[in-house]
Amino acid sequence: MVEQATDGIFLTDPQGRITAINDTGCSMVGCPREDVIGKVLTDFLDPEELARRPIRYKLMREGKPLVVDRQLLRRDATRLQAEISARMLPDGSIQGIVRDIGERMRAQTELARLAQTLEARVVERTSELDRANKELEAFSYSVAHDLRSPIRAMVGFSSILLAENKDRLDRNSIDYIQRINRGHTHEFAH
């Protein structure tokens, strides 16, 4: 099972020297097993990162598992972003699992980039919508303003028509003229 695992699996002695590692772990560091056995675990970690974030052995000595993201240094000088889960055994040796999280990190970076792009698009579209709404409001105001005089003239003429010809108009014609006058009053009351 250890050899078939897709994660690197290792065991160290109490001094931190690697005593066992599976094929996946060897391929993660880019070395054959014989070049890995006997090396200290920190030989495969980025020294700058290790200086900023030292391994918390005290935590492991207290029986707590350690789960950290670290960059592994490969033999060919490339780096592998890895998640290391380790636990100290009662005799001081360490057993651990190393998982390649490079693809997950790339996916998270891409997701963050897409979220930023989406956010920028939302801001842009909102701005465009605000501009369109302001243009529509200006257009509506302009149309309403431009129609006031012609509508007032129609209402005025319809009122004159009704006043001068009420006795000659049938009931439907009077109703139509009154509707024109009421509609004008209702529309411009707002």
The last residue of one of the domains, among 100, 124, 148, is 100
* 81 CB-near residues (< 8 Å, 6+ apart): 69, 71, 100, 101, 102, 105
Q: Please report the DSSP string for 84-143 in residue order.
A: EEEEE-TTS-EEEEEEE-HHHHHHHHHHHHHHHHHHHHHHHHHHHHHHHHHHHHHHHHHH
Region of poorest pLDDT, from 70-74, 85-89, 146-150:
146-150
Q: Are residues 27 and 53 in the same domain?
A: yes
pLDDT digits (tens, 9 = 90+) for 117-153: 888 898 899 898 899 888 888 888 888 778 778 878 8
Residue 2 located in a structural domain: no
Residue 157 located in a structural domain: yes
Number of folded domains that form the chain = 2
pLDDT digits (tens, 9 = 90+) for 4-53: 788 999 999 999 899 999 999 999 999 999 999 999 988 888 888 888 88
* Class of residue 2 by CB neighbours under 10 A (exposed 0-12, middle 13-18, buried 19+): middle
pTM assigned to the model: 0.57
> Domain containing 144: what range?
107-189
Q: Are residues 42 and 118 in the same domain?
A: no
Task: Give the Cα separation of 149 and 157 in Å (integer).
Answer: 12
Angle of helix 102-165 relative to helix 171-189, nearest 10 degrees, comes to: 140
Q: Are residues 159 and 139 in the same domain?
A: yes
Give the closest residue to 61 by CA, choosing from 84, 93, 37: 93
Residue 167 located in a structural domain: yes
The last residue of one of the domains, among 100, 132, 154, is 100
- Residues 79 and 46 sit within 8 Å (Cβ to Cβ): yes
Q: Are residues 64 and 40 in the same domain?
A: yes
In this structure, what CATH number is given to the domain that contains residue 75? 3.30.450.20
Give the closest residue to 73 by CA, choosing from 96, 50, 103: 50
